[in-house]
Structure 1
Amino acid sequence: MNNYDILNFAMDVGESLLKSGAETYRVEDTISRILSVNSKKPFLFKRIDTFVTATIISASVSDNSSNYTVARRVKNRSTRMDKIEFLNQLSRDYVSGQLSLEKAKTKFLEINSIPAYPFPIISISMGVSAACFCVIFGGGFTEFIICFLIGYFTAFIQKILSQKGIVNYFIIFIISLIIGIVSMLSKNIFHYILSESIIIGGIMSLVPGVAFTNAIRDTMGDELISGMIKGIEALSTAIVIAVGIGIPINITIILGGLI
């Protein structure tokens, strides 16, 4: 075990946290705490510096004779609250001395190998959440069914397009466009339905709520670069959704309510 082992372990945990959707301040704090455990001989770190943005992690430590620096580029991010919880507990157990470095590494590999929820559960959950939001915003039984189908098939579209390596913004645009088309078609077939509630329910799974919240949290915590990046990301996503929804609505208006 040497300084690089400790530094790489801290970076592994931080990278996994960031990929799972954790805030940058949490990632920085976790890396610093893991490294601070070894501020005793023979791993004397006289200085610990961490720098985390939405896409980059860097950590540097100094001992009596050398400086050690590791940087990571983070490209793929998702939202995995379960992994964030487990990684937080892992760091607490390691810092408190309940786990040795080797046991912590083994535990980290176990956490990192935890699979996401099965796809059928994800697709059904997206359908139910879309349908429930639709009802909250005034939708009835017909709107509920339409929104459930929109949410259900949105999961399939996201999965298929993601596997093809398509840019996430284009995926969101395509899904928003489909939601707008379906809502306008439904309105022209069933004149009594509320197309607004269908649109709102359908786009709820696309709205960048977590990114927007994290942007505010990072900005308030003086993480200005990360806050700005996540704020731009949230704003760009919102614009893409608006454009995707707006195109079929405006076409419907131009055609006099008929598609």
Structure 2
Amino acid sequence: MGTEVSIAKLCMLAGKIMLKSGAETYRVEDTMNRIAKTYGMEDAQSYATPTGIHFSIDFSEYTNFMRITNRATDLHKIAEVNSVSRKIAAGELEINKAFSMLEHIDQARLTFPKWMQIIAAAFVSGSFAIMFGGTWPDFIPAFIAGSVGFAGMLGADKLVDIRFIAEFIGSVIIGVVAILFMTNGLGASLDKIIIGAVMPLVPGLHITNAVRDLIAGHLIAGVSKGVEALLTAFAIGAGVAVIIGFI
């Protein structure tokens, strides 16, 4: 019985890390089932939604449940869990060693520091402004508006802890900065500056995961992620619209 509990804990930890890091639900379930099968649990049952994980080592056994409240985007952690899973499937890791490796991944801070994310958002914003048809005079305004807006979103996310409100505040800041540049004669196209600057806030991964979950037959997860992406897009658009409405 002790070994079975260890298998359940191992699978739940792997699923928790992947789901909190932004993995698709079908990938989470597949990873948990493969790990359990490698350790001899042929009838393991797993069910994941964006906000929770259910797992049982057999269809007639008790079910383990874990609620997921905070989710982010950390593809590095997903890749690390996949690496551990492949080693388990190859028979290279015993349960205790695999569990220790997953605990290390769970506790590690693998995301880039905030200042680096802000710099990356700045270059992404300026580049998208050019890609969407803007001119070089639009690059610097989009560069600055995108970085300031992204920094504002990160700060608001810490204070409010509601992602939609944080993204709304970030888009409001972007609209204000873009308009200030235009009123001072810097920049050629307001819409290109704003479009480029909001791109770091756009929920591209959520939309992709929603489609992939729907294609894989995970209708609940796909629809819920799609609604989450839609609300995020609405928050971004509303923030910009509020500022433009005052012009």
Q: 1:191 to 1:31 in 2, by over 3 A?
A: closer
In 2, Cα distance between equivalents of 1:197 and 1:19: 34
Determine whether 1:52 maps to 2:48.
Answer: yes
Residue 199 of structure 2 corresponds to residue 204 of structure 1: yes
Question: Residues of 2 paired with 1:62 and 1:80: CA distance?
Answer: 31
1:249 to 238, 244, 247: 244
Q: Distance in 1 between matches of 2:166 and 2:160?
A: 10
Q: Letter of the aligned partner of 1:130 in structure 2?
A: S
Among 93, 100, 104, the residue aligned to 1:99: 93
Cα distance in 2 for residues equivalent to 1:134 and 1:192: 11
* Cα shift at 1:109: 2.3
Contact 2:156/2:169, CA 8 A, preserved across alignment: no
Confirm or deny: 8 A CA contact 2:88 2:98 kept in the other structure.
yes
Higher-helix-fraction structure: 2
* Distance (Å, rounded) in 1 between the aligned partners of 2:33 and 2:42: 13
CA distance in 2, matches of 1:134, 1:180: 14
Give the distance between the partners of 1:247 and 1:120, measured in 2 at CA.
Answer: 28
* Residue 194 of structure 1 pairs with residue 195 of structure 2: no
- Give the letter aligned to residue 106 of structure 2: N
- TM-score, normalised via structure 2 length: 0.93
Cα drift, residue 89 of structure 1: 0.8
Offset, 1:192: 5.8
CA distance in 1, matches of 2:138, 2:187: 10
Deviation string, structure 1 residues 52-103 (Cα, Å, up to 9, x no partner): 111111011238xx71321111111111111111110101101210111111
SS at match of 2:69: coil
Distance 1:33 1:146, change over 3 A: same
Pairwise CA distance, 1:112: 2.2
Q: Count residues with an aligned counterpart.
A: 245
Gaps of 5+ in 1: 40-44, 253-259
Residue matched to 1:131 = 126
User: Which residue identity lines up with residue 101 of structure 1 in the other structure?
Assistant: I
1:112 paired residue among 106, 112, 120: 106
Report sequence identity in percent.
34
> Structure 1 residues 112-121 or 192-201, which shifts more?
112-121
Query: In structure 1, what is the Cα distance between the partners aligned to 2:128 and 2:167?
Result: 19
Q: 1:218, 1:226 within 8 Å by CA — same for their partners in 2?
A: yes
Q: Which has the larger radius of gyration?
A: 1
Deviation digits for residues 119-156 of structure 1, max 9, x if unmatched?
Answer: 22111111111111111123333321112212222332
Distance 1:69 1:236 in 2: 32
- The offset of 1:191, in angstroms, is 7.0
Q: Which runs of 5+ in 2 are unaligned?
A: none
Residue 205 of structure 1 aligns to which amino acid in structure 2?
A: P
The CA distance in 2 between the partners of 1:154 and 1:245, in whole Å, is 11
Distance 2:187 2:105 in 1: 50
Instruction: Give the C-alpha shift of residue 46 in structure 1.
Output: 5.7
Report the TM-score when normalising by structure 1: 0.89
Contact 2:129 2:192 in 1 (8 A): yes
Residue aligning to 1:160:
155
Q: Determine whether 1:181 maps to 2:176.
A: yes
